[in-house]
């Protein structure tokens, strides 16, 4: 039951991530515009140049604010990544626990016996 709920949550997170993919791309483009306009604003020496790059930067900032729903998609992608990492880590530890090495199995059984008798 737990795995079904986790799988359902992963499906919902994937849908949220895919639905906000356009916003994520828009956010990336607008952040590039803001960065470029800021760099050009600092390089510019004339008043008209500074005014032009300030206006471009303000337009880019308004696009960043308009793309804030991308944060939900970014958080969903991060949660999917962490969940996948945790899932693969659990599989690795489960496969290590069922090792075919007889010495590993002996150590596990010995530790279990020590727990039971102490």
Residue pair 49/8 in contact (Cβ under 8 Å)? The answer is no
pTM score: 0.66
In this prediction, residue 19 has a pLDDT band, given cuts at 50, 70 and 90, of very high
- Structure confidence at residue 115 (pLDDT): 83
- Structure confidence at residue 107 (pLDDT): 76
Q: Tens digit of pLDDT for each residue in 27-85?
A: 999 999 999 999 999 999 999 999 999 999 999 999 999 988 899 999 999 999 998 88
**CA dihedral (75, 15, 61, 29) positive or negative:** positive
DSSP string for 48-105: HHHHHHHHHHHHHHHHHHHTTTHHHHHHHHHHHHHHHHHHHHHHHHHHHHT---HHHH
In this prediction, residue 1 has a pLDDT band, given cuts at 50, 70 and 90, of confident
Helix 2-19 to helix 70-97 angle (10° resolution) is 150
- Structure confidence at residue 2 (pLDDT): 80
What number is the average pLDDT over the span 20-33? 94
Distance from first CA to last CA of the chain, Å, rounded? 35
Interatomic CA distance for residues 74 and 21, integer angstroms: 9
Q: Which residue has the higher pLDDT, 17 or 3?
A: 17
- pLDDT exceeds cutoff 70 at 94: no
Please count the other Cβ atoms lying within 10 Å of the Cβ belonging to residue 92: 10
């Amino acid at each position: 039951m737990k795995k079904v709920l986790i799988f359902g949550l992963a499906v919902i997170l994937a849908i949220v991530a895919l639905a906000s993919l356009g916003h994520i791309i828009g956010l990336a483009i607008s952040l590039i515009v803001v960065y470029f306009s800021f760099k050009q604003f600092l390089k510019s020496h004339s008043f008209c140049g500074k005014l032009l790059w300030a206006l471009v930067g303000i337009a880019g900032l308004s696009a960043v604010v308009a793309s804030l729903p991308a944060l939900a998609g970014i958080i969903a992608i991060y949660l999917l990544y962490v969940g996948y990492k945790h899932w693969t880590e659990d599989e690795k530890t489960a496969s290590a626990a069922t090792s075919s090495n007889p010495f590993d199995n002996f150590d596990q059984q010995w530790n279990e016996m020590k727990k039971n008798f102490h």
